[in-house]
Amino acid sequence: MNFLPIFYNITDKPCLVVGGGAIAARKAELLLRSGGRVRLVAPEIGARVLEMADKQALECEQREFRQDDLNDMTCAIAATDDKNLNAEISRQAQARGIPVNVVDNPDLCSFIMPSMIDRDPVQIAISTGGVSPVLARMLRSKLESCIPGAYGELARLADDHRDAVKRRLPDVDTRRRFWETILDGQVAELVFAGRTEDARQQLEQELESFNIAGVRGEVYLVGAGPGDPDLITFKALRLMQQADVVVYDRLVSQPILDMVRRDAEKIYAGKASSNHAIPQENINQLLVRLAKEGKRVLRLKGGDPFIFGRGGEEIEELIDENVEFQVVPGITAASGCASYAGIPLTHRDHSQACIFVTGHRRDGEEGLNWEMLSHANQTVVFYMGLENVERICSSLKAHGRAADTPAALIEKGTTTEQRVFVGDLDSLPGLIARNEVRAPTLILIGEVVALHDKLGWYKPGEEIR
């Protein structure tokens, strides 16, 4: 990130615009809308600037730029056609520590102007760091369409009641819960429907009767998918953004954690196969305790919580303790990794069934039905099988699966670090050792694996031509 996103108060502060054309006029308008006092200097002045000068909205001088124009300025914008002059203005302003923007030249800027969504007093600024203003504008139009125009009105209503709410609800967390119910509930709907007065009354009634003790905590058991943040569901995203606390596993990738509400408390409950950061019983109790404190608890798990995720055990405890919960499925590793590796889990010609199995031995025994797993024309997916790969391959062969049955290892599937190795039941253990394959890795066994050569499409790190 080359630029710090900040909002700068320029109310009643002098701002300089150099240039008299349409772009300079637009910049001057923005400064005026933000409360700045604008002085504009240019040898040639266009119609739009003249119009603003006539209305005395800004001070306009028809002449060349002079060094002393920068005296006492809060910021300066160079919007001339003259590259040398723009560079000179930038140099002089920066030498004096005055924030300067040069139109269409990020290298000469000490600040850049974002693309804006204006729902005054709500402002949303989008920046690509000056790299692609067109992309910023495209993002803006996407956001424009999903942010109602009345958000400004809603913010003003909230502002009118800020002090009263602070007095009535001195605790910060309680206040936040109150505001969340207001800004996402009936009050907001009334504002959006143009019924501001009704919204005001409703807000005051809700403030009067609000009781945090009546707010019940809840647990959201959410599947975060196998790694690519684009693979989480809309529902997961919504709950991630309203949680007070998140209890997450080792498999939840950083880009996904970054999508959780920024000020939510984050508790790592990480799990590697032999290293339980917090024992499962304690995780269950932690969820119950946090929910009983009235918190919205996000239990975020890699993949799907109900597939080798012990999600069932967690909600069993919640049910026993009478705690409300929701379960949000996620894309399980088998599905995500197979798709990103170009290996269909079933195929009319090669595989009529697909089985998900754990390769992790509990008390030294998988307890698996090897005979059933060794049938031909099916795909077997081993989760957590890396450490036992030799046993897996030899057991399958011993129960009749051909030694040349295609087999794949998918490491860190769906992420930008995904690696796929293809071999067969004989060569799989050697592939792991030679390539230093590490967890999380999924093992796929079956004829469909051979399709990877043709169907493999996701090649992170490879240049696309």
Ligand X SMILES: C[S@@+](CC[C@H](N)C(=O)[O-])C[C@H]1O[C@@H](n2cnc3c(N)ncnc32)[C@H](O)[C@@H]1O
271 has catalytic annotation:
yes
Which segments of 38-78 does DSSP mark as H helices, in order?
Answer: 47-54
CB nearer to ligand X: give 36 or 305. 305
CB nearer to ligand X: give 36 or 311. 311
Site for ligand X in 329-388 (CB under 6 A): 332-333, 337, 383-384
CB nearer to ligand X: give 178 or 308. 308
CB nearer to ligand X: give 48 or 361. 361
Site for ligand X in 255-314 (CB under 6 A): 301-304, 307-309
Minimum distance of ligand X from residue 431's CB (angstroms): 15
Question: Do residues 86 and 102 lie in contact, with contact meaning Cβ atoms separated by under 8 Å?
Answer: yes
Q: Is 413 in the site for ligand X (CB under 6 A)?
A: yes
**Contact range with ligand X by CB under 6 A, out of 184-192, 283-291, 320-328, 435-443:** 435-443
Kindly write down the DSSP assignment for every residue of 369-401, as one continuous string. Answer: -HHHHT-SS-EEEEES-GGGHHHHHHHHHHTT-
Structure tokens at 201: 């009354």
Structure tokens at 259: 């999508």
Q: Mapping DSSP to helix (H, G, I), strand (E, B) and coil, where does residue 51 land?
A: helix
Q: Is 202 in the site for ligand X (CB under 6 A)?
A: no
124 CB burial (10 A radius; 0-12, 13-18, 19+):
middle
CB nearer to ligand X: give 301 or 452. 301
Helix, strand, coil percent content, the chain, rounded in steps of 5: 40, 20, 40
Q: Is 114 in the site for ligand X (CB under 6 A)?
A: no
Distance CA 391, CA 369 (A): 13
Structure tokens at 408: 């794949």
315 CB burial (10 A radius; 0-12, 13-18, 19+):
buried
Q: Applying CB under 6 A, which of residues 314, 440, 444, 448 lies at the interface with ligand X? A: 440
199 Cβ contact partners less than 8 Å away, ≥ 6 residues apart = 154, 157, 187, 188, 190, 191
Q: Applying CB under 6 A, which of residues 20, 21, 226, 329 lies at the interface with ligand X? A: 226
Structure tokens at 345: 């889990």
By beta-carbon distance, which residue lies closest to ligand X? 303
Which of the following is catalytic: 27, 271, 295, 412? 271
**Contact range with ligand X by CB under 6 A, out of 80-88, 237-245, 344-352, 438-446:** 438-446
Peptide bond connecting 114 to the previous residue in cis, omega within 30 degrees of 0: no
104 has catalytic annotation:
no
Distance CA 255, CA 250 (A): 13
Q: Applying CB under 6 A, which of residues 227, 329, 344, 406 lies at the interface with ligand X? A: 227
CB nearer to ligand X: give 67 or 273. 273
Which of the following is catalytic: 249, 301, 304, 412? 249
Q: Applying CB under 6 A, which of residues 102, 393, 441, 448 lies at the interface with ligand X? A: 441
Q: Mapping DSSP to helix (H, G, I), strand (E, B) and coil, where does residue 39 land?
A: strand
Q: Applying CB under 6 A, which of residues 245, 251, 357, 428 lies at the interface with ligand X? A: 251
How far from chain centre, in Å, is Cα 174? 26
Binding-site string for ligand X from residue 7 to residue 26, where x marks contact by CB under 6 A and - marks none: --------------------
Minimum distance of ligand X from residue 406's CB (angstroms): 18
CB nearer to ligand X: give 335 or 405. 335
Minimum distance of ligand X from residue 432's CB (angstroms): 13
Minimum distance of ligand X from residue 442's CB (angstroms): 4
CB nearer to ligand X: give 246 or 337. 337
Query: Strand 245-248 relative to strand 265-268: parallel, antiparallel, unpaired?
Result: parallel
User: How many residues sit in the footprint of ligand X (CB under 6 A)?
Assistant: 23
Minimum distance of ligand X from residue 339's CB (angstroms): 12
Distance CA 310, CA 280 (A): 9
Of 185, 239, 232, 230, nearest to 207 by C-alpha is 185
Minimum distance of ligand X from residue 166's CB (angstroms): 43
Interface with ligand X (CB under 6 A): 226-227, 251, 301-304, 307-309, 332-333, 337, 383-384, 410, 412-414, 439-442
Catalytic annotation, residues: 249, 271
